[in-house]
């Protein structure tokens, strides 16, 4: 049984949640999020300021979606009230990052600069090789941060590359000299 799906979600005072025709819409002070929850294995009930979830049958697929839908709705409600933020730190000599308009310009030691378009709904700030990503959609913030990190993952010998601010890089010893 889903422990997450059993919980009732409370809707804050300045937030509205609407579920019609398989589309969930959450409006809050920071914006609006919509998500298509077209699979009807789980029913979503909105009563006043409470959201409850119940699986329509007890097959494994419906039970799996039960907690998943609850997590999605919880993240959407939290996102329209407080933005999600993730931070990346770029380490390495000569590595640079800057935001120009809607693009993120990166110098990562390649023969060419790497230019990545910033998606709508995200704000990116770069100050002294510390990148901060923020937005109301948790999935978008996490996916874009992971995409940027994958451009230059941290290597274990010198620690060069992108790392999350909470990430600890396990260092390896280099060659031993005789």
pTM for this entry: 0.89
Confidence at residue 135, expressed as pLDDT on a 0 to 100 scale: 95
Sole residue written with tokens 């509205």: 16
Alpha helices in 80-166 (DSSP H): 138-151
Give domain status of residue 178, yes or no. Answer: no
Q: Mean pLDDT, the chain, as a whole number?
A: 91
Q: What is the span of the domain harbouring residue 159?
A: 84-164
Q: pLDDT of 62-72, one tens digit each?
A: 888 898 999 99
Instruction: Answer yes or no: is 50 within a domain.
Output: yes
**The two three-digit tokens of residue 141, written as one number:** 């913030």
In this structure, are 126 and 68 located in the same domain? no
Work out the number of other CB atoms within 10 angstroms of the CB of residue 27. Answer: 15
Residue 159 pLDDT grade (very low, low, confident, very high; cuts 50, 70, 90): confident
Same domain for 130 and 75: no
Q: What angle is formed at CA 51 by the lines to CA 45 and CA 57, rounded to 5 degrees?
A: 50
pLDDT (tens digit per residue) in 38-76 = 778 888 899 989 999 999 888 888 888 898 999 999 999
The number of domains in the chain is 2
Whether residues 91 and 157 fall in one domain: yes
Question: Do the beta carbons of residue 131 and residue 90 sit within 8 Å?
Answer: yes
Q: Which residues contact 7 (CB under 8 A, 6 or more apart)?
A: 70
**Assigned domain for 176 exists:** no
Confidence band for 178, pLDDT divided at 50, 70 and 90:
low
Residue 43's CB: how many other CB atoms inside 10 A?
Answer: 13
- Say if residue 88 is in the same domain as residue 33: no
């Amino acid at each position: 049984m889903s422990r997450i799906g059993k919980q009732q979600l409370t809707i804050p005072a300045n937030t509205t949640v609407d579920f019609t025709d398989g589309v969930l819409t959450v409006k809050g002070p920071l914006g609006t999020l919509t998500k298509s929850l077209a699979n009807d294995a789980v029913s979503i009930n909105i009563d006043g300021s409470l959201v409850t979830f119940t699986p329509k049958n007890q097959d494994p697929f419906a039970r799996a979606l039960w907690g998943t839908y609850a997590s999605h709705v919880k993240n959407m409600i939290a996102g329209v009230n407080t933005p999600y933020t993730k931070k990346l730190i770029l380490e390495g000599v000569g590595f640079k990052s800057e935001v120009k308009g809607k693009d993120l310009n990166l110098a990562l030691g390649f023969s060419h600069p790497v230019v990545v378009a910033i998606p709508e709904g995200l704000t990116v700030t770069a100050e002294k090789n510390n990148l901060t990503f923020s937005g109301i959609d948790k999935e978008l913030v996490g996916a874009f941060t992971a995409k940027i990190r994958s451009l230059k993952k941290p290597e274990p010998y010198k620690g060069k590359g992108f790392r999350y601010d909470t990430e600890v890089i396990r260092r390896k010893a280099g060659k031993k000299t005789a």
